[in-house]
Amino acid sequence: METAMRPIIRMTDIVKNFGSFRALTDVGLDVGEGEIVVVIGPSGSGKSTLIRCINQLEVHDTGTIEVDGHTVTRGAGLAAVRAEVGMVFQSFNLFPHMTALRNVALAPVRVRGLSWDEANQRARKLLTRVGLESHAEKYPAQLSGGQQQRVGIARALAMEPKILLFDEPTSALDPEMVGEVLDVMLQLARTGVTMVIVTHEMSFARKVADRVVFMDAGRIVEQGPPEQIFDAPRDPRLRSFLNAVLSH
Ligand SMILES: Nc1ncnc2c1ncn2[C@@H]1O[C@H](COP(=O)(O)OP(=O)(O)OP(=O)(O)O)[C@@H](O)[C@H]1O
Ligand SMILES: [Mg+2]
């Protein structure tokens, strides 16, 4: 059946300008249901802009985006998209005056109309899933960066999204906390949720990705399975990017 093969995200000919600067040029990207796509590329290449267009944190100028069959064209169709797409940011964006539990339970109550009882129960399960069962009553300032980011992931999961977007979820963390967040993401990747991840963690990308997408100067330059991208890169820009990041 053709419908069974339909990508859950379909971006076609996307152009995004910031003033006179073109951040995305004719970007086309299809992501299959349950697929894990990792986006890599130099600073300023448009990685964040690309994934922010998926949930319309940035509104593209031309081209079309479909999310699970809903067309999101220049900001229209937003509600349908927001219901299905969760996002985890580099900075955790937790509410500082709310406990971890409340941070996770809030949106299901406000947006979905769950009772606090039910939302709290579910939030506790999610905090357990990210290894934070004993930290539910703490405020963000009482948690490490890695723990805060795991709360951020639990918060995204609380809305039961079909798609999770991650924009450099570990780049604000001290090195010793990166692993615990990547471990949670690896577990999630095995649950069948669709993930699009921007990261500079190349060994993680190799481990988790079904497909790696390399961007440069607002375009997708090369994409393929991790073995192809990391072991047999074709485009010279990808080769020099990998030389630069892997030599550290
Ligand atoms: N709100 C904005 N206003 C103007 N220019 C912007 C805006 N957001 C992004 N840009 C520009 O668009 C280009 C792409 O930015 P983007 O944040 O997508 O890059 P990136 O690949 O995520 O980089 P990094 O690895 O540093 O996060 C950059 O040149 C950036 O300066
Ligand atoms: Mg970015």
pLDDT digits (tens, 9 = 90+) for 51-80: 999 999 999 999 999 999 899 877 677 887
Mean pLDDT, the chain, whole residue set = 94
- pLDDT computed for residue 1 by the predictor: 39
**Ligand nearest to the CA of residue 25, numbered in listed order:** 1
What distance in angstroms lies between residue 52's CA and the mean position of ligand 2's atoms? 10
For the CA of 19, the closest atom of ligand 1 is 4
> Is the model's pLDDT at 5 over the cut of 60?
no
Give me the torsion for CA of 120, 126, 128, 131, rounded to 10°: -130
* Residue of minimum CA distance from atom 12 in ligand 1: 23
The model carries a pTM of 0.94
- To test the pocket of ligand 1, the residue of 22, 25, 43 to mutate (highest count of ligand atoms within 8 Å of its CB) is 43
Under a CB-based contact definition with an 8 Å cutoff, are residues 166 and 195 in contact? yes
* Placement of tokens 């809305």 in the chain: 159
Taking the CA atoms of residue 159, residue 160, residue 165 and residue 170 in that order, the dihedral angle to the nearest 10 degrees is: 80
pLDDT of residue 152: 96
Q: What is the pLDDT of residue 247?
A: 81
Distance CA 13, CA 29 (A): 9
**Looking at residue 248, what is its pLDDT?**
66
Top-confidence residue, 234 or 72: 234
Query: For the residues 21-37, what does the mean pLDDT come to?
Result: 97
Residue 92 to residues 87, 100, 156, 220, 229, Cα–Cα distance (Å): 10, 12, 11, 27, 30
- From the CA of 132, how far away is ligand 2's center (Å)? 28
Residue-wise pLDDT for 180-231, tens only, equals 999 999 999 999 999 999 999 999 999 999 999 999 999 999 999 999 999 9
**pLDDT digits over 81-91, tens only?**
888 999 999 88
pLDDT-based confidence at residue 3 (cuts at 50, 70, 90): very low
